[in-house]
Amino acid sequence: MAASTIAKPSTTTKDPQHKTSRSSALAARLHNPGLYAGASLGLASTCLTGDPLLYTALGTTSVAAGWSALGMYPGPWRWLPGQGEPWQWLCRRSMSGYRRRVRRMRRHLAVPASSPTGSGLYVVGDGWRRHPHRPQLVRAASAASQRARCTLLTQAWQHTLPDWGSAWWRPYSLGEMTLRTSPLLALPAVGAIGLPWWGSMLAVSAGAGWGARMWRLPARDAGPVAPLKGVDWYHARWAEWIACERGILPASKLVSLQLDDDKLTAIIVSTTTKAAAGVGQDTVSIAFEVPPRAVNIYRPDDMPANRAKLTVRLRALTSAELDMDDLAAVWDEYSPYQGSKLLNPEATEFGRRFHLLMPRKGSSVADVQPRAIAQALDLPGEDAVDRLHLRMVDARRLEVNEMSVNPLQDGVALDLGSLTMDEQGYITVGSDIYGRPAKWRLLKFDRKKRGLSGRPSASSVHSFGSGTTGAGKTSLEEDLQIAQRLNGFVSWLADGKGGAGYASWLNELDWLLKSFYGAMLMGQAANAVSEYRFAEQMKMQWLDEEGYTETGRSFFVADDPFKPMVCTWDEFNEMILKDPQADHVKPLLGAVSSTGRLSRAAGIAARIWVQIPNLDAIGSSASANAVRDMLQSGNIALFRTARADVDIMSLGSRTPEFRLAPLPERFPNGSETGGLCYIADGKAQYTQSRAMFHSNPARVARQFPLCTLSSAEADAAVAAGPAGLAYLRREEYRHLDAADEETFLRELVAKEQERSGKGRKVIDTKPAASALTAEADTDVDDDDLDDIVPPSRSELVWRAVDGGARRNRQIAEVTDLKPTNVANATARLERLGKLAKIQKDWHVAEPLDTESISA
């Protein structure tokens, strides 16, 4: 039987007798023919007398003499008890016979191949005898024949005869053989002496002990003993070959090293700037004297770069015994995840596919890394890791696809039918690497609550994307803009590149901003629209799951009466980080934060595209933290350089479960990888996908109606502040560049603030006092009239402010109204121009027209 190709470290084994009972050990000793032969000889010597005893002594003497003669010279009889192994002797004799043949051959070859005859002619030998390399060829053939013979004898002995072997090559001396055979001479002589009964018992016991010992001599040999390779040996080899000054990883060390029967596990720790995972399989293979495929080095996601896990299989099948095309067998032999199994390998159109079943305890699906799989299966090629794509099936199963050709390299054509929103609010923006539709969610529906129109309640879904310039973020955004226009969404967009990325979309979006200042106003206007929608929805009725009608709707219903809306900030990192001290930064973060936290129930979603490698770079304020939380809640797309980004992207619970392979700039066929990205599935699993592409998406979107805000929403935005006015006058600066747009907007905001603030006339600034005590004595008739027709809340609030109350708390104390009613009344009077707020104090701006004021 061929020996193992990998040395197995010796382990301390316990004597089987320690595991058995005393009676079992005694029974095992009785299964020895030599015990009974020796006891019989001693018993015969004590019982026999006369001629039988003489004949017995002569027989044992002959046996002792023959035994001694055979033992003094090695031979095939060494397989007998107390001797050695005949096959080893035969191999030795064959080797000596081979040497004799070689010497004889050399003498024959030294004789000339031709000799003169009596007639003076030469008799020339055949070509073989005159061959110039004949001695070497004959020698090689003879050596191969002798080796084959020895191998055949060795295998025959190992399979058919006991493997007794102990110093078979050493001739035993006469004294040694005399000591071995002396009981055969001494025991028969005991009978002639005439011992008492106890002496006879001693003779029988001595014979039994001698026979048992001779039968077990030599002891069975379990085969060649492997050299001692314990934990210290592996530490020493690592220090000698890898951690030395000129090694691959100087000053490194192995920690948590554990040795099992067939596997070594350890953690590589690098003490320099070199990554621990940089140690190659071949280096460890040479150091530990194992095949390269038995070595597996990988780094889990939660492990720093100066550490890596190392697993080495110490018992491996030979190449002849292991079919490398049998993936399941190879995985069982070299799997770095103990207890895992490879199931259902099959060929696919682009390569092959199989499943990994992880154990119930131990390694989980999150621990599996593509590099570890490529090493265990010995996949060829420099891009072996990039060809593997992992997809989690359930808590214990992974689907692994090895694709020699990326099916996305030919691109994905635009399909308008796929951009139509389904019943769950999804659209298809492309195709993933498995040939399935790449989904993107625009709305989340809840059919347990409905509007009076019968449509279900809906909430908007925020979105986030990252990637370097040229990775294809704009391609995906243009697909989404077409889908929004097709499905009746209001689209607002702020471009951090000055509008260069969306030059063809100037007339195809409801509102397109090109300056950072405009991006801030867009966020503020979105907040004003959401506040108006909330106020209106509270007055509406709705239907519950059982069909009952309720008043006060707290959710959004598409087109009942408002349209869903999406606000997009492209290059958001430029807006925040280009000049962190600019006057637009804090208001922009606050507006985006409010949109993310409050506007989903108003049907308004936020979508942000960035290039930064870490979301922590946008700041540490409360608004920045809210923006980060918002970006983790919905759709996520990670474009080129995603692998380097995801490790530190601060995605929280949405961090990918598997390390994402880097996306190249070009496919193997030379085509660009624009639009290639990883899209999250709603949890922490990311699938490589490619967005649909069209050369002129703006023209495609033009065939669908352009949705805008209703006049009521626009008026509410205008009443809330200058941002609404910037929306109403958007056509005046639509075709200006970023600098001119910012100048226009700043002048517009300044004029509006001047008109609504300092330009307003303040009628009265009386000190704070009770409105009831401030009434004129001539107004008695009005007091009597108030008893018949009570004044409205707005009138009471206006009178309180006119009487000197400046804050909502003072107004509530004077009028005995609830604080919420006071807040609503003051806001309403401010919109109507009856009150003005100056430095947080309320002042009367215009006289109150009671006929135009209702409760």
The residue among 438 and 16 whose pLDDT is bigger is: 438
List pLDDT tens digits, range 342-354: 998 888 888 889 9
Residue found under tokens 């409010």: 594
Residue found under tokens 């790449």: 438
The residue among 43 and 504 whose pLDDT is bigger is: 504
Mean pLDDT of 583-590: 90
CB 59 within 8 A of CB 71: no
List pLDDT tens digits, range 691-711: 999 999 999 999 999 999 998
Among 169-173, 626-630, 716-720, 816-820, where is mean pLDDT lowest? Answer: 169-173
Whole-number pLDDT of residue 164: 40
Report the C-alpha gap between 294 and 314 in whole angstroms. 8
List pLDDT tens digits, range 199-218: 777 777 777 777 776 665 55
**Most confident residue range from 134-143, 187-196, 583-592:** 583-592
DSSP secondary structure, 17-50, as one string: GGGS-HHHHHHHHH--HHHHHHHHHHHHHHH--S
Residue 93's H or E segment, with its range, is helix 86-110
Whole-number pLDDT of residue 98: 55
Mean pLDDT of 506-522: 93
Mean pLDDT of 415-443: 92
Whole-number pLDDT of residue 72: 67
User: What percent of the chain has a predicted confidence (pLDDT) above 90?
Assistant: 22
Whole-number pLDDT of residue 705: 93
Helix (H, G, I), strand (E, B) or coil at 601: helix
pLDDT classification of 128: cutoffs 50, 70, 90: low
Whole-number pLDDT of residue 698: 92
Structure tokens at 543: 């239907």
Whole-number pLDDT of residue 50: 72
Mean pLDDT of 685-692: 88
Whole-number pLDDT of residue 14: 41
Mean pLDDT of 112-118: 45
Report the C-alpha gap between 61 and 44 in whole angstroms. 15
Rounded to 5 degrees, what are φ and ψ at 305?
A: -70, -20
Whole-number pLDDT of residue 458: 94
The residue among 1 and 107 whose pLDDT is bigger is: 107
List pLDDT tens digits, range 593-649: 888 888 889 999 999 998 865 666 676 677 777 777 777 778 888 887 644 445 556
CB 634 within 8 A of CB 462: yes
Mean pLDDT of 323-332: 77
List pLDDT tens digits, range 137-184: 777 777 777 777 767 776 665 555 444 444 444 566 676 677 677 777
**Most confident residue range from 69-83, 90-104, 320-334, 726-740:** 726-740
Whole-number pLDDT of residue 123: 42
List pLDDT tens digits, range 211-238: 776 665 554 443 444 444 678 888 988 9
Whole-number pLDDT of residue 227: 46
DSSP-H helix ranges across 538-583: 572-577
First-last CA distance in the chain: 102
Burial of 360 (0-12, 13-18, 19+ CB in 10 A): exposed
Whole-number pLDDT of residue 438: 92
Averaged pLDDT score across all residues of the chain: 77
Judged against a pLDDT cut of 70, whether residue 280 lies above it is answered with: yes
Structure tokens at 711: 């006049």
Whole-number pLDDT of residue 21: 45
CA-nearest of 688, 740, 462 to 597 is: 462
Residue 459's identity, in one-letter code, is S
